[in-house]
Structure 1
Amino acid sequence: MITPRPFNVMIVGQAGRLQYEALLFAASLRANAPDFAGKLYVVEPQPGKLWDHDPRLAGDVRAALEELGAQVVPFASEHFGQSYPQGNKIEGLKALPAGEPFVFFDTDTLITGDLARVPFDFDHPAASMKREGTWPVEELYWPGYSAIWKSLYDQFGLDFDSSLDLSQPDEYWERYLYFNAGWFYGADPAAFGERFTEYALSIRDDPPPELVIQPLDPWLDQVALPLVVHSFGGGRPGPELAGLDGNITCHYRMLPLLYARGSDAQIAALESVSAPNRIKKMLKQYDPFKRMIYQKRGQKVRALFDRDNLPRHEKALRNKIKSAGFWMR
């Protein structure tokens, strides 16, 4: 067993939905991980040529985040910006202290347990396995999973064969290293972010011929991430990290999905950390949070589903919620 060591946490915060999700994340971290000894960094994109609006946090939300112990740090969008906001998680890594272990979380995440006790092995990075086979996309004339993934490993001089899960059949998507970019970690955010940026730009701007008919928006971060993790000697997370996407963290994506498929404990954690008046005052400024949490629309969504017999794919969940008129984002 690896002894837990101090680390920093990074999320992205910016104007709009993400700033309210960031506040909910910070409140849940403070409430449910009291022994967390690192710092919570909320990385904030700055206005510039890649944005047609000011992406910075609202002043009252910034103040509330700082009251919860978060440190808001700016970064410049040099490559992605508004056209590919998922790139914020890539470029934002440069705002963290170099050389200090880090864990990144998508902002639409709740901390529901003691994050400080998770035995991260920062010398062997990993990322979330809570994913579906969304990429590459099967096409009529595509070359297949192996050819596409091998072309990417070859592009960066990486060993493809050692990345494979040989317990899975050839040409089945789970055989290939593929993550949800909802969380990942490493030993040095500067080095990780530099390589993540390098790989993502290379894939976007100079993809191998095997990718010619493959979509990269919104999948670019999830295409590059396994290559970056592998390049640093990492891979699939072991059972010691089962609490992530389990009883310690919950990547809910959208509140209607959390109410639809979340456990009773996760819903209790959400409603507990959102109850204090200072938090409530902020979150009610965002209409989906106001309606879902405080006006109890989330409980109506919850009543639509049997948690012991949920649809297999997220799309079916979304469609049922939309049909009932309860979808919000």
Structure 2
Amino acid sequence: MAADLTDQTATPFNLALVGQSGRLGYEALLFVASLRANSPKFNGRVLICEPQPGPLWPKDPRIEPEDLRSALTDLGAEIIPFDSVHFGAAYPYGNKIEMLSALPKGEPFVFFDSDTLITGELADVPFDFAKPSASMRRTGTWPEIELYGPGYTETWKSLYDAFGLDFESSLDLSEPDEYWERYLYFNAGYFFGSCPHAFGEKFLEYALAIANDPPETLVCQSLDPWLDQVALPLVIHALGGGRDSAVHDHLDGPVSCHYRLLPLLYARESEAVIAALEAIASPNKIKKVLKGYDPIKRMIYQGRGEKVRALFDQNDMPRREQAIRNRIKSNGFWMR
């Protein structure tokens, strides 16, 4: 398989994710442990971007306790600070926008949400950093079309027009008009590009403009939590990327799993993913740290994950995620 890889695969790149107090810090440890276990060929930097205390954070957002910080650095991760200037606690998804300025300028990067496991060899993924892209494991969450309101075309075109971007070239013409998949849309669970500063400057510019001065077509649309996913396709399109990337055959597939929350992982992911999670969580040194976070302790070490798994027939899963969540909650097993 390695013989088929393009030259871009050999390009060194940095891995970035957000880590902070609470769940995201512990998820970052699971991520880095899975990377070390399942991607031995990856030799780039692993940068855990940490928001710093400031007026936009009512509580200190830095990673704690100290044994968690030590466990991350023992696995070769670097914790790098960034300041929250625009978003902070009011819109924590903005972390993935503001942290880009703290990454090394001019160096290719791949960002992952912390609630991701690396399950295969990341070094073999054929990234073409000159053509950025993002996760295609998404559903039609935005925009929500009102009966007498603007349709998909009018809504998305207004955004492309606002930033002087060519709308027509972003469309997937194999999909019918006014069907959500015709329009460029990603999950922000991962994205990549050739320079985090160039990417981040556009991401911040577009997100702030959409939030502060949206086109009239957005008057009935919610931007919380969707702001990052509304701006992201515009950024990728502006930088010459799109939906067509060989990366999509690897990430959100054999090489990575964006599980979102542990109850959802046990409910709907494969047995192989569950085995990978429990394998990386088993060494005593890691286990001692992870038990400091109650949802991980109960889900992985006290068997609650197995109880969640038993609620579902993997060959007949509910079609909507909300139905999965509701079944877990009604049985008293929901944690986050």
Q: TM-score range by the shorter chain?
A: over 0.9
Match of 1:154 among 149, 161, 178: 161
Matches within 5 A, 1:100-179: 100-179=107-186
Q: Give the secondary-structure state (helix, strand or coil) at the position aligned to 1:246.
A: coil
Aligned 8 A contact 1:7 1:103 in 2: yes
Gaps in structure 2 of 5+ consecutive residues: none
Q: Does 1:328 align with 2:325?
A: no
Question: Pick from 246, 250, 258: which aligns with 2:265?
Answer: 258
The one-letter amino acid of 2:210's match is I
Q: Is the 8 A contact 2:127 2:246 kept in 1?
A: no
Normalised to the residue count of structure 1, the TM-score between the two structures is 0.98
User: Is residue 300 from structure 1 mapped to residue 307 from structure 2 by the alignment?
Assistant: yes
Q: 2: distance between equivalents of 1:83 and 1:237?
A: 33
CA distance in 2, matches of 1:37, 1:142: 50
Q: Which residue of 2 aligns with 1:35?
A: 41
What is the SS of the residue equivalent to 1:88? helix
1:2, 1:241 → 2: CA distance? 15
Decide whether the 8 Å contact of 1:128 with 1:182 is kept in 2. Answer: yes
8 Å Cα contact 1:36-1:115 kept in structure 2: yes
Aligned to 2:197: 190
Which letter does structure 1 place at the counterpart of 2:6?
I
**2:55 maps to 1:52:** no
Residue in 2 aligned with 1:2? 6
Work out whether residues 118 and 241 of structure 1, in 8 Å CA contact, stay in contact via their aligned partners in 2.
no
- Would you say 1:14 and 2:20 are equivalent positions? yes
Indicate which of 196, 221, 233 corresponds to 2:240: 233
Equivalent residue letter for 1:201: L
SS of equivalent residue, structure 1 residue 44: strand
Q: Distance in 2 between matches of 1:51 and 1:241?
A: 35
* Structure 1 residue 140, shift from structure 2 partner: 3.2
For residue 206 of structure 1, the aligned residue among 200, 205, 213 is 213
Between the two proteins, the alignment pairs up a number of residues equal to 329
Deviations 1:295-325 (A, max 9, x none): 0110111111121221112111111111111
C-alpha distance in 2 between matches for 1:328 and 1:240: 32
Secondary structure class of the residue paired with 2:79: strand
- Using the size of structure 2 for normalisation, the TM-score is 0.96
Q: List aligned pairs for 1:216-227, cutoff 5 A.
A: 216-227=223-234
Paired letter, 2:279? S
Partner AA of 1:19 in structure 2: G
Among candidates 243, 248, 251, match of residue 255 of structure 2: 248
Mapping of residues 281-296 of structure 1, within 5 Å: 281-296=288-303
Native 8 Å contact 1:153 1:160 kept in 2: yes
Give 1:139 deviation, angstroms.
1.8
How far is 1:40 from its partner?
0.5
SS for the counterpart of 1:10 is strand
Distance 1:238 1:52 in 2: 40
User: Where does structure 1 differ by over 6 angstroms across 4 or more consecutive aligned residues?
Assistant: none
- Corresponding residue to 1:315 among 311, 322, 332: 322
